[in-house]
């Protein structure tokens, strides 16, 4: 494998890692599938090689971050992609190892404090001449791409109201489940424009999507809530998520209420059981999910303006959406075309046009509606 184009994917046989590895292979970027389970890594690499015979694919058993420094020193990949969540409560050890090794680093973190705080590594990343990008996922990667695409229609954007609702049958992993349960019922950091206390998986409302119909939504914690108000001049911002099946959605809401009422529960401890229970209900749901973004403010002539944007995924292709920023950024870094050195959240780094183009092979459609 040519080390000049190699991308090392940590957790490369996981829910998102395998899709990122496949996306890079399609683009001619050499990929090493890495993880703690050698058999899973090698099986994933064989499947990739069969699907993409012209791509340079390999596998390695790697216990990150402990074995990562030696690997980077020996193999010198161009970029490391960290898909090993959950990132809530994690430190920046893997990113620091990459900086010390002179290797670019990308992660799929959605932990609010983790992504917002990545700037603490900016000086070290600049000195090493490497890019460190955190949150290369749906939020803030896609969410910022949407607001960047439509901000020219507004003199001022006052409010952003948006959310995600995956299909019940969409593939999901234990790390994502733990992350969701980690803040259900817990007080969230205050958000601009909302002085009232708000809690994870509370404040339920109904959102209608093209083709999908109505889905229940509830509060979720994402980096955008801190990143977007200053960058885009927002006065109010709200992000929500929802499950397709009401029984699953309100199950999480109910567990959140127990936490909020003071029952001594760490719901993350029950993640394996609850994930298994959720999967038993898959036959009652669909493989279709979506994301909505509603922007409101003033148009160029001072008139009230609203823009609605939706993305809808079918055939179980929803998990492809959060993988796009990491794929596109890793491809660019492997070819020495950016982003430049420094440590930054993934805000405005991928255009909406490039994002949608990368999703063309999948059963994914977008919809827009003006005021």
**pLDDT tens digits for range 46-69:** 999 999 999 999 999 999 999 999
276 shares its domain with 171: yes
Total domains, the chain: 2
Q: Contact 162/143 with Cβ under 8 angstroms?
A: yes
Tokens of 92: 């920046």
Q: What is the mean pLDDT of residues 116-139?
A: 98
Residues 6+ apart with CB under 8 A from 251: 274
Residues 6+ apart with CB under 8 A from 262: none
120 shares its domain with 185: no
CATH number at residue 309: 3.30.360.10
Query: What's the whole-number average pLDDT of the chain?
Result: 94
User: How far apart (Å, rounded) are the C-alpha atoms in residues 224 and 366?
Assistant: 21
What is the pLDDT, as a whole number, of residue 14? Answer: 93
90 shares its domain with 148: no
User: How far apart (Å, rounded) are the C-alpha atoms in residues 261 and 214?
Assistant: 29
83 shares its domain with 147: no
20 shares its domain with 125: yes
User: How far apart (Å, rounded) are the C-alpha atoms in residues 245 and 106?
Assistant: 33
Is residue 2 scored above 50 in pLDDT? no
325 shares its domain with 313: no
How many other CB atoms are found less than 10 A from the CB of residue 158? 17
Give the tens place of pLDDT for each residue, 139-152. 999 999 999 999 99
Q: Which of 82, 203, 92 is nearest to 136 (CA)?
A: 82
CA atoms within a 13 Å half-sphere pointing along the CA-CB vector of 318: 20
156 shares its domain with 201: yes
What pairs with residue 313 in β-bridges? 289, 364
CA atoms within a 13 Å half-sphere pointing along the CA-CB vector of 329: 35
Give the tens place of pLDDT for each residue, 226-280. 999 999 999 999 999 999 999 999 999 999 999 999 999 999 999 999 999 999 9
CA distances for 254 relative to 114, 120, 185, 192, 265, angstroms: 27, 37, 9, 26, 13
174 shares its domain with 206: yes
Work out the pLDDT band at 89, boundaries 50, 70, 90: confident
Is residue 194 scored above 80 in pLDDT? no
CATH number at residue 77: 3.40.50.720
Work out the pLDDT band at 284, boundaries 50, 70, 90: very high
Q: Residue 195 — φ and ψ, nearest 5°?
A: -75, -20
Give the tens place of pLDDT for each residue, 313-346. 999 999 999 999 999 999 999 999 989 999 999 9
Which residues form the domain of 172? 139-317+363-370
């Amino acid at each position: 494998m040519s080390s000049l184009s190699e991308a090392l994917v940590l957790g490369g046989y996981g829910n998102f890692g395998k899709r990122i590895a496949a996306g890079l292979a399609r683009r001619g970027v050499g990929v090493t599938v890495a993880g703690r389970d050698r058999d899973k890594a090698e099986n994933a690499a064989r499947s990739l090689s069969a699907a993409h015979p012209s791509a340079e694919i390999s596998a390695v058993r790697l216990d990150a971050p402990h074995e990562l420094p030696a690997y980077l020193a020996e193999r010198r990949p161009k970029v490391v992609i960290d898909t090993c969540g959950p990132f809530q409560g994690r430190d920046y050890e893997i990113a620091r190892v990459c900086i010390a090794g002179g290797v670019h680093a990308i992660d799929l973190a959605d932990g609010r404090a983790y992504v917002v705080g990545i700037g603490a590594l900016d000086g070290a990343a600049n000195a090493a001449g490497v890019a460190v990008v955190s949150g290369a996922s749906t939020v803030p990667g896609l969410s910022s791409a949407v607001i960047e695409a439509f901000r020219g229609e507004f003199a001022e954007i006052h409010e952003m109201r948006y959310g995600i609702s995956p299909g019940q049958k969409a593939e999901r992993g234990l790390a994502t489940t733990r992350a969701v349960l980690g803040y259900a019922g817990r007080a969230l950091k205050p958000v601009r424009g909302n002085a009232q206390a708000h809690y994870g998986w509370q404040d339920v409302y109904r959102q209608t999507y093209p083709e999908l119909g109505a889905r229940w939504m509830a509060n979720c914690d994402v980096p955008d809530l801190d990143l977007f108000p200053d960058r885009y001049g927002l006065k109010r911002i709200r992000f929500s998520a929802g499950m397709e099946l009401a029984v699953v959605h309100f199950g999480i809401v109910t567990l959140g209420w127990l936490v909020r009422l003071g029952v001594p529960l760490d719901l993350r401890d029950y993640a394996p059981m609850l994930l298994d229970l959720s999967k038993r209900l898959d036959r009652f749901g669909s493989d279709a999910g979506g994301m909505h973004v509603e922007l409101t403010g003033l148009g160029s002539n001072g008139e009230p303006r609203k823009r609605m944007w939706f993305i809808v995924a079918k055939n179980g292709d929803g998990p492809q959406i959060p993988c796009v920023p990491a794929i596109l950024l890793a491809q660019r870094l492997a070819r020495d075309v950016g982003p430049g050195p420094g440590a930054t959240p993934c805000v405005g780094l991928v255009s909406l046009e490039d994002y949608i183009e990368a999703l063309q092979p999948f059963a994914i459609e977008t919809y827009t509606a003006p005021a």
